[in-house]
Amino acid sequence: MIPVTKPFLPPKQELYALLDEVYERNWLTNSGPLVNLLESEIPKFLNYKGHFSYVNNGTIAIQIAIKALELTGEIITTPFSYVATTSSIVWEGCKPVFVDIEKGSCNINPKKIEAAITPQTTGVLATHVYGNPCDVEAIEVIAKKHNLKVIYDAAHCFGTTYKGKSIFEYGDISTTSFHATKLFHTVEGGALFTNNKDVAHKINYMRNFGHNGQEDFWGIGINGKNSEFHAAMGIANLKHMSSVLEKRKEQWLMYREHLSQDFKVLELIDEPGFNFAYFPIYFKTEEDLLEKKKLLDDNHIYCRRYFFPSLNTLNYTESENVFEVSEQQSKLVLTLPLFDKLSKENQLLIIKNLLS
């Protein structure tokens, strides 16, 4: 069987050495030493200069971002993303207002944002799809013109840079996921990035129930903390991320070399800065996709329709508009297996089945 992904796992002895420290201290959570170490090491690895806050998952990260920026009313967003992008907006009592995507990158189309702005609009929540950067300059211009806050769902972006700078530097807040399916993971986890000191201050209170000491509360908060066990996995994994990123790039380029003549592939915005986290291909029709997916399934090769369906079709979004590009692309895209232990032989087998 070839799954769509497998989490990278560090050598056991490296992880166990960190877990031995946890046992010796008997300190499991509440901003322990390993959480603090991870919070200092990740920005160094990413060459990120702003404020970084580690939390327990990427969805909580988005929800905290919405709260920290005090967004209300309408938030302009993309219909082409994982469900957490939209569900977090609704969960926080706001209304997602969808804008269609660009066909090549599958990112939100900045040219369509201004037409969606109303007096109730307070922010933009855009996804860097597959780790491929949005048009951050165009979005920044629009946001400043209309006094909007910008959150980037950068769940796919560990290691991605844009014009030589970490993609997490952009927007008022960027969020990410460290879930086990991600290129870098802490089993479960997520993070928020911001260049605003005051916003970072709010985030760090909000992720810990609003605690300001044991018997005082700064304000409203939630349980967004993560544990020493999860941080241990992150610290152990971080030591291997340079080689993981290089291996992923080799696999990605191999797919492109063999498949780009027969399938449309992702158009990269900044190839030197891309993290090569996902390799989607696009079929001409949904029928073609389903036929090929069945063939792959029958051969125990498991790909994923990532992202499907288009989020404007969810039953809780109250969106009656048609978003032609997103709805079309969501029916045509199939994401191929890509992970550290994927052998060249198995990758060639996947390619052979796709081209058969």
Residue 136 sits in a domain of what CATH number? Answer: 3.40.640.10
* Distance, first Cα to last Cα, the chain: 19
* 328 domain-assigned: yes
Given this model, what pLDDT does residue 209 score?
87
Q: How many helices (H) and strands (E) does the chain have?
A: 11, 12
Strands (E), the chain: 51-55, 74-77, 95-98, 121-127, 149-153, 161-162, 165-166, 173-177, 190-194, 264-265, 280-282, 333-335
Where residue 159 falls (left for φ over 0; alpha for ψ -120 to 50; beta otherwise) is left
Whether residues 258 and 346 fall in one domain: yes
Asked whether the beta carbons of 174 and 161 are under 8 A apart, the reply is: no
Whether residues 208 and 248 fall in one domain: no
Whether residues 251 and 219 fall in one domain: no
Rounded to whole angstroms, how far apart are CA atoms 340 and 7? 8
Structural domain span for residue 253: 241-355
Whether residues 135 and 267 fall in one domain: no
Whether residues 222 and 282 fall in one domain: no
For residue 79, CA distances in Å to 125, 233, 279, 288, 293 come to 11, 33, 20, 23, 23
Buried-exposed string 8-23: b where 16+ CB fall within 10 A, e elsewhere: bbbeeeebeebbeebe
Rounded to whole angstroms, how far apart are CA atoms 318 and 313? 9
Whether residues 130 and 165 fall in one domain: yes
Considering 238, 272, 297, which residue would you say is the last residue of a domain?
238
Given this model, what pLDDT does residue 206 score?
95
Give 208's DSSP letter.
B
H or E segment and range at residue 308: none
Q: Comparing C-alpha atoms, which of 352, 296, 356 is closest to residue 1?
A: 296
Q: Summarize pLDDT for 25-63 with one digit per residue, the tens.
A: 999 999 999 999 999 999 999 999 999 999 999 999 999
* 5 domain-assigned: no
CATH number of domain containing 275? 3.90.1150.10
Please provide the average confidence, as pLDDT, over all residues in the chain: 97
Rounded to whole angstroms, how far apart are CA atoms 25 and 131? 37
Asked whether the beta carbons of 237 and 254 are under 8 A apart, the reply is: no
* 207 domain-assigned: yes
Q: Summarize pLDDT for 283-295 with one digit per residue, the tens.
A: 999 999 999 999 9
Q: What's the pLDDT band for 319 if we cut at 50, 70, 90?
A: confident
Given this model, what pLDDT does residue 219 score?
81
Considering 213, 238, 263, which residue would you say is the last residue of a domain?
238
Where residue 164 falls (left for φ over 0; alpha for ψ -120 to 50; beta otherwise) is left
Q: Summarize pLDDT for 198-238 with one digit per residue, the tens.
A: 999 999 999 998 788 777 778 889 999 999 999 999 999 99
Number of domains in the chain: 2
Whether residues 227 and 258 fall in one domain: no
* 1 domain-assigned: no
Establish whether the linkage from the previous residue to 309 is cis, with ω within 30° of 0: yes
* 4 domain-assigned: no
**Is the per-residue pLDDT at 81 higher than 80?**
yes
Given this model, what pLDDT does residue 163 score?
96
Whether residues 70 and 172 fall in one domain: yes
Whether residues 142 and 197 fall in one domain: yes
Token look-up 């992150």 returns 234
Q: Summarize pLDDT for 150-198 with one digit per residue, the tens.
A: 999 999 999 999 999 999 999 999 999 999 999 999 999 999 999 999 9
Q: Summarize pLDDT for 323-344 with one digit per residue, the tens.
A: 999 999 999 999 999 999 999 9
For residue 180, CA distances in Å to 9, 12, 15, 185, 295 come to 10, 16, 15, 5, 27
Considering 185, 209, 238, which residue would you say is the last residue of a domain?
238
Whether residues 174 and 260 fall in one domain: no
**Is the per-residue pLDDT at 318 higher than 90?**
no
Rounded to whole angstroms, how far apart are CA atoms 349 and 280? 17
**Is the per-residue pLDDT at 16 higher than 80?**
yes
* 7 domain-assigned: no
Whether residues 188 and 296 fall in one domain: no
* 3 domain-assigned: no
Given this model, what pLDDT does residue 278 score?
98
Q: What's the pLDDT band for 320 if we cut at 50, 70, 90?
A: confident
| pTM, entire model | 0.96
The dihedral formed by the CA atoms of 340, 345, 351 and 353, expressed in degrees to the nearest 10: -120
Given this model, what pLDDT does residue 217 score?
74
Whether residues 271 and 338 fall in one domain: yes
For residue 172, CA distances in Å to 71, 194, 221, 244, 319 come to 12, 6, 19, 29, 26
